[in-house]
Each structure stands twice: as structure tokens, then as C-alpha cells.
Structure 1
């Protein structure tokens, strides 16, 4: 009876929520401009606001003229003041939290989350579930057990500001009505060693009525493989009532075939786009491609055409200026005190009514050793199309340039861990090369002009990427191995796992 009431209540809440959401979808462009001016007005007395003359900002154009695009290195001096306990620096008062993330050039990054910004981290996930329930007209999963994978919820304090991984912070804000259904246990979530943690999660969940599982695809695959190894059954046999997988962090599509094989049955997928800096988008229609951009969640968005990114005169476009099917570097201004902040993600719009995006790559993750500027979206689409034509299955891959081969012309080297290898690797390789040439005209010109030879494939041992991640201390959690690079730092380390 209790489950029946919970399901009915969830259906009612979901339909009301989706109906209310129509307003922000229709008025996104107007509301974005108003939001920016509201953020500027709130922060005009802060150190950052005084430095950049917020008092005299009356329009988006004023803001863009006074506030430069910044990365973490640019904002770090302000963050350091906040870390020392100073108030009213980037945002009013002090942050409620610091989300601690790994940085490549800055060491650990401390991303401030204000008391105004924190609720939207949870609301984004809630909204994704409500949209799914309303579209599906089914809330059966609320009656079962759910995994919301988090990093350790243990938080340290930095001058009174609670600090930890975002997923661990969010663990403290999961609504009470989900707490009784939530797995794994608090004690298991506290485990730092990833393999030990996954083994314990398997132990805690394998006999439960799991209906919703949330995590990034590489983690899900590792968890599912351990369940299958231990039980000798596919996931839908182990969890017959599993209805929904919520995923984010990386593009799901390259993992879809592998996931479907492990699942062994129909499970709905909802993709999301969260980060320490905010919860940006989610799949509002699980039957369609694209993520709904959340324009009413305390974040003002700007978009720099990818080909202009990093140039001093780069255009800073707003929502009303963007074009479909074009790649943009994502720039954020948030109600936690990030101002014209380049997060490093690249997006492309596939719809403007409402505004739906795909995450097409990272500004720092590309291959352009020869001027081709190949991005993640292109390689992921190329490999997806190739796999569809061959009875092959891929666990993971990494693309790097080989500039100085022992013989012949330079080339792109693909390090691929196959779950199932194609019968003819040469035909597979030629098709993959053709698919990438279709998607990137610069690469096509380099091949046809005999500046590059066709790509090479280096096959890797099973679990190569897991072993690499473990060796680098980056196994599990929200750690992601870049799928492509402009150097051979990762490639040279992957050679150890050559088949």
C-alpha cells in the first residue's frame, strides 16, 4: 500500500513539475538576460564586483565589455582569499561548500558553492526524474532500491567551509523520501579504495530489488561486470525490476552497445550534465537525443565559437545568438560567484525550441597535431558508425597523434580495448578512417593530400583502461580518461597494455 501511494504521489508531482517547467523553456532567452543583471546586482559590493565595476553594468553588453573570460587560474587569487576565510570576495558572504576537484595545472581546484547555488544541484537531478516519470507515465521505480553513487561523503573544513567531492556533498542533500530506498550504505560510501568499494556495493545490492542505478558509464560497466562474474547472470536477470539508469559525466553513446549486452534486457536511460560548477542539463525526453539546458538554475550562459576560443577578440554569444549544429565553448556566470568562467566543455545545440544540447567535447581534449582539430564528438560518432557496420564491441579507446613514426607518414593512433574484436581488423580500420574523414574535412584533406597516412589501431588487453587508471590513482569516482589528446603522454603509458 505504501509503495502504491508513493508511486501515485510521484506521478502527481512529476506532472505538475513538468507543466511548470514549460514557462522557463518558452522564456529562456529573456530570463537569461534578467538573471545576469540580478547576479551582478547581488555581487556588486563584493571584491570582484568592485574590481570590475559592477555598479555600472546595465546590460549583457556592459558585462562582456568589463568582465573577461576566465579559467580557474584567473579566479584562483580570489578563491585563495575565500579559502583564508575572507568574506564577500566572489559572492556575498562565504560559500556553503567547496567542491574539490582534480586540476591539471592548478593542483586541486576549490569550486565555491553558495547557499543559493547548492539547491540547484539537487533540483537538477530531481527535475530529470520528474520529466522521465511524466513522459513514461510510470513511477514504478520509486518503490524499489536505488543506487546514487557518491564519492566519500566525509567532508573536511577549510576555514569553516565544508569541503569535499561534489558527489559526497550531494549525499548530504538527498531528500528524506529517498533515504530509505538508497544504496549503498553510508559506511560503504565512505570507502576510498575504489575496487574495495565496488566489491562491497556488489555484496550489498545483489539480492536487493534494484530499480534505479545512477553513475558514469565506466563505473556502471565495472559494477555490472563484477555482478555478472559473481552471479553468472545478466543484469536484468539479477535485477528483473531495474527500470532506469541515470548517467552523466561522459557521452553515453560509445558505451551503449557494451551496456546493452551486460544488461541483457530493456532498461531506460536518462543522461545528465552535472559538474561541480552547476547542474547544466538533462535528457527531458528519454526517447530523444539531446539534453535540455537549464536556463532557470542560477546560471547565465555564454558561448564562444570553438574555432575562436582562446583568441582575444572571440565572440561571446548568448542564447539568442547560437546556431544549430555548431560547436561552442561553454562559459558560465553562476550564483556561487563564478564570473564568465570557462568550464572547458564544448556543446552544440540540436534544438532551440526548447534549447537542447549535446556535449561534444572538451576545449583541452582534441587532436590537432597537424591542424585538423578533431574533437571528441567526431571520434565518438565515427566509432559508433563503424561498430554498427561490424560485429564488434568496444570497451574504451584513446586517440593520439604519432608525429614521428619509425617509417612512413605520420598518423593517428587509436588505442582500443575490444570486448569483441571485428573479424577483419583492416576493414574495420579503413571504415573508421572513412567515417572520421566524413566528419572532419581538415583530416580528410590531410589524408587525401598524403600528409597523413590512414589511422593505425593498437589493440589493448582486457581491462587495460582500468589498469591504467589504477596505476595513475584515478580508478573510480568521477575520474574520466580523455578519449583523445594532442600529445602522447597517455598513449605512451597505454603501450604497456598492448595485446
Structure 2
């Protein structure tokens, strides 16, 4: 046992005590963050344009700052990209996190000297909570891996530009540097398939204790390890006992993961975004992730059912309720104001405030007024594979509005690792769960506006082939799990089992 593992538990006690100190005073914590954000940004271009000088309360703020997205803030971001200072936040950002945009191409999300430490601290604290709960820090003596983007950064008018995971790679604490894999050289490989093969070679004989990344890409890594050794992951890495992930709901993938690993393990969920590190799992028993109220982010929430209304309800943490699907809005010490990142969340606890991600406000199906959301689709699959040997590698759902014959339907594209013995029975189970969750969907089925859903089997590796075909094959790219159009579905027709 090393000194690192010996001192990790008392350090975890100290760190978690500090977290619960602010978590137990949520309103005061958020008010303090709010006042500091306004005070610090008064003399910025955005602050002057929106009269921050006269903002004293949240009500004042709502009157002056509209909810927006990247397109709304883009004129300000463009000024920063060109080299201007004091635009959204004092000075210039340390970095731009480059993400994929929709209408404007690449997005440049500012990361400042004030916001960068919150990304690192939150990820660290997630591990410390796990250490304290398990009373075991032995994993710090092993090797750790995070499947991430290229850490090589570009220069954009004096500001470093790269993927968030590539930027974060520069901030691994010194005490973990010797434990980190893969090597810098391997992390810099651009081609994802080549990169994963290199990671397999570097890690196959190591004592891997922590593995982290987006589930679909870690799954690819696991499959390559198994193909090379003929052994389950638990035999290759006997001291690997928990998986750290973020970006998607893990439940539909859980059966598949545990079959690859060969034993039950723990999971730690994170909610990192380029715009800020929003939440992390602080308990293996309590559902949801602890909302980061003390990390330079002032949160707002809009009920998802009202989001597209002319005057939707817009509230702070004080007014949220359990069981409501909210669009989450950020105001941050990186200079994002009234910023809709596109995610929807639901509170699982109000003491302390914990959330779960339920989907994307733009990722829904409402071709007939059913407004099916990601959470419902994920639960339907979870319900249907429970206590079975069925494993799902990947999936997405889209409406089929104009079928060649019969009524319209929802079309589910699923890549099975282990298929159901009877696809019709499985399909009915999924549809029954959907109807039980969504009264509008149920009414459309009963009223013969829709027929029950149809499942298309995607060939093994089909989703990876699809991602390659659209130029998005890599560790930070995710398949939307549902959409209100046929853009993905029509291309996936090329990757079905005939």
C-alpha cells in the first residue's frame, strides 16, 4: 500500500466535508455565486449591454438577460475569437473548448482561469466521495485510463483551442501522472481505430484499476481486449472494480458491459460539459448526481413542456420540484449568460440537490403530438431487457411518418450483442413500457393514429460504420438516442441485417 492510498481516505473526509458545507446551504450558496458573477462581469461588453450595474436580484437579471444558446451569444464569442478582451468575462479566456455546432459549424466555448479549476476539482471530488463511501483507496496504486480526445491544442489569436477532454489532459495532478495511461503519443493519434488498438497494446499487461470514458467507446476498447486475449475484462484487469462515465444514460448498456467485464462492478457517473462541470455522483446508494452549486455556475430551470412557449416559467434552484423535466440554463464564470446547453434534467433529491439527465430538449419525437423524450425510451429498453440475457450495443429512435403501407410508427434501430429469442415479444414489451409511461403515445396507439413500434436490427459494428460514414468516429462523439426527423434513420438503412 502506497502513501497515496494511505492518505487518500483522510483527504477524502476533508474534501467531502467541505462539499456538504455548501450543499447544505443551497440557497445562500447560489445567491453568493449569483452576486459574484454579476459583480465581476459589470464592466464587460455584455455586462454594459445588459445593465449589470443595476442588477441586484434574480428578478432584475431575468428582465435584462434573455435565455439564449450559442447562436445568441455568437456575436460576442466572435469578438473574443478575433482577440478582443472584456467581452463576456474580464480579460481573455485561457482556452476555447471546440464542440460540434448545428447551424454555425464549430462552436468555441470559452474556458477562463476562474472556470478551469472547477472542471478538475469536480472530477477529483467524485473519486473522493467513492473512496470515502467504500473506505478503500487501493485503486490509486494502479493504472488509470480515460478515453479522450487529442491533447494537442491549436492557437486561436493567442487562445489555446481544443476538445474539452484534450484540454483537461493538461491538468492531471502530478500525483497521478505516473498512473495515467495511455501515453501522450498514443493520445495524440487522430484515427480512432488506430488509437484504440494502440491503447490496447499499452494497457493489456498493466494493472488497470480505473477506466473512464463514453460507454460506447469504452465498449469498443473492451471488445478489442477480449478479441486479443480470449479473456473477459475481469481476468485481464482483476483489480478493475469501477467504471467512470458521462455523456449518456448508462442503463441500456449495463447488461452488455457486465457481460464483457465478467463480474459486477461499481459505476461513477459524471456530468461534465464544455460549458461547465455540472454534477457528479456522490453516492453509490442515492440516485442522481450532486448538483455543483459552488462551482461558479448560477443555475436556472425551465419546465421542458413550456420551453417553446412565448413566456415560459423561468426559475432558480429555490422553486424546483421533484419529478419535473427541466431544461437547464447556465450563467457561468466563463461568461455564458442565460445559456441553454440543450440538456433536460430531473431532480431526484432536494436535500441535497441531486439531478439526473433525462435527454436533450431537441432530441424528442413529437411527429404526432406524442412528445416522447429520451428518459422514456431508455426506461422502455431497461424494462424490456431486465432479467434477460439480451445485450444492446447501441440504439436510436425516429418516427416513420410515411410508411409504404399501413399506419405510421416509431422506428427503433438497435444493435444487439445478444438478440431476443423472440423479437416480436421483445418489441411488444418495449411498446407496452412506452405506452405505460407516455399517455399521449398510448392515446395515439389506441386511436389508431400510430401502430406499435417497429424494431430494425442493425448489424454488429453498424453504428460505428455509420459514425465513420458521417466523419464522426471518435471518443467524444455520441449517437443521439432519438430525433424528430429521419436524418439518422435514413442513413442507418444501409447498416441493417437483411
Residue 22 of structure 1 aligns to a residue in which SS? helix
Counterpart CA distance in 1 for 2:429 and 2:169 is 45
TM-superposition CA deviations, 1:16-59 (whole Å, max 9, x none): 11112111111112211221121011000000000000000000
Counterpart CA distance in 2 for 1:169 and 1:498 is 37
- Report the CA distance between 1:390 and its aligned residue: 4.3
RMSD over equivalenced CA pairs, Å? 0.9
The normalised TM-score by structure 1 is 0.98
Which runs of structure 2 are paired with 1:81-96 in the superposition (5 Å)? 81-96=79-94
Residue 386 of structure 2 aligns to a residue in which SS? helix
Q: 2:367 aligns with which of 340, 365, 369?
A: 369
- Report the CA distance between 1:105 and its aligned residue: 1.2
TM-superposition CA deviations, 1:431-456 (whole Å, max 9, x none): 11010011111101101111111111
Counterpart CA distance in 2 for 1:367 and 1:81 is 36
Residue 2 of structure 2 aligns to a residue in which SS? helix
Alignment CA distance shift 1:83-1:8 (3 Å) = same
Structure 1 counterpart of 2:30:
32
How many residue pairs get aligned? The number is 497
Structure 1 counterpart of 2:108:
110
Matched-pair contact (CA < 8 Å) for 2:255–2:390:
no
Q: 2:345 aligns with which of 333, 344, 347?
A: 347
Q: 1:53 aligns with which of 51, 56, 73?
A: 51
Structure 1 counterpart of 2:316:
318
Structure 2 counterpart of 1:406:
404
TM-superposition CA deviations, 1:400-440 (whole Å, max 9, x none): 10101111111101111111111111111111101001111
Residue 127 of structure 1 aligns to a residue in which SS? helix
- Report the CA distance between 1:393 and its aligned residue: 1.7
Matched-pair contact (CA < 8 Å) for 2:435–2:442:
yes
Q: Does 1:251 align with 2:224?
A: no
Alignment CA distance shift 1:389-1:440 (3 Å) = farther
Residue 198 of structure 1 aligns to a residue in which SS? helix
Which runs of structure 2 are paired with 1:299-338 in the superposition (5 Å)? 299-338=297-336
Residue 423 of structure 1 aligns to a residue in which SS? coil
Structure 2 counterpart of 1:5:
3
Counterpart CA distance in 2 for 1:412 and 1:491 is 11
Q: 1:436 aligns with which of 424, 434, 437?
A: 434
Counterpart CA distance in 1 for 2:391 and 2:179 is 34
Structure 2 counterpart of 1:120:
118
Matched-pair contact (CA < 8 Å) for 1:141–1:244:
no
Counterpart CA distance in 1 for 2:92 and 2:85 is 5
Structure 2 counterpart of 1:262:
260
Alignment CA distance shift 1:255-1:11 (3 Å) = same
Matched-pair contact (CA < 8 Å) for 1:361–1:377:
yes
Runs of 4+ in 1 over 3 A off after TM superposition: none
Counterpart CA distance in 1 for 2:286 and 2:222 is 25
Counterpart CA distance in 2 for 1:9 and 1:141 is 13
TM-superposition CA deviations, 1:345-400 (whole Å, max 9, x none): 00000110001111000011111101111011100001100111544221111111
Counterpart CA distance in 2 for 1:498 and 1:4 is 51
Residue 69 of structure 1 aligns to a residue in which SS? coil
Counterpart CA distance in 1 for 2:395 and 2:280 is 25
Structure 2 counterpart of 1:16:
14
Q: Using the TM superposition, name which of 418-427 and 382-391 deviates more.
A: 382-391
Counterpart CA distance in 1 for 2:123 and 2:370 is 37
Structure 1 counterpart of 2:273:
275
Residue 416 of structure 2 aligns to a residue in which SS? strand
TM-superposition CA deviations, 1:322-363 (whole Å, max 9, x none): 110110001000000000100000000011000111100001
Give unpaired runs (5+ residues) of structure 1. none
- Report the CA distance between 1:475 and its aligned residue: 1.3
Q: Does 1:450 align with 2:474?
A: no
Structure 2 counterpart of 1:237:
235
Matched-pair contact (CA < 8 Å) for 2:97–2:161:
yes
Counterpart CA distance in 2 for 1:266 and 1:442 is 37
Matched-pair contact (CA < 8 Å) for 2:296–2:332:
yes
Residue 121 of structure 1 aligns to a residue in which SS? helix
Counterpart CA distance in 1 for 2:204 and 2:388 is 34
- Report the CA distance between 1:122 and its aligned residue: 0.4
Counterpart CA distance in 2 for 1:119 and 1:312 is 37
Alignment CA distance shift 1:400-1:470 (3 Å) = same
Counterpart CA distance in 1 for 2:14 and 2:387 is 43
Matched-pair contact (CA < 8 Å) for 1:225–1:262:
yes
The normalised TM-score by structure 2 is 0.99
Counterpart CA distance in 2 for 1:266 and 1:402 is 38
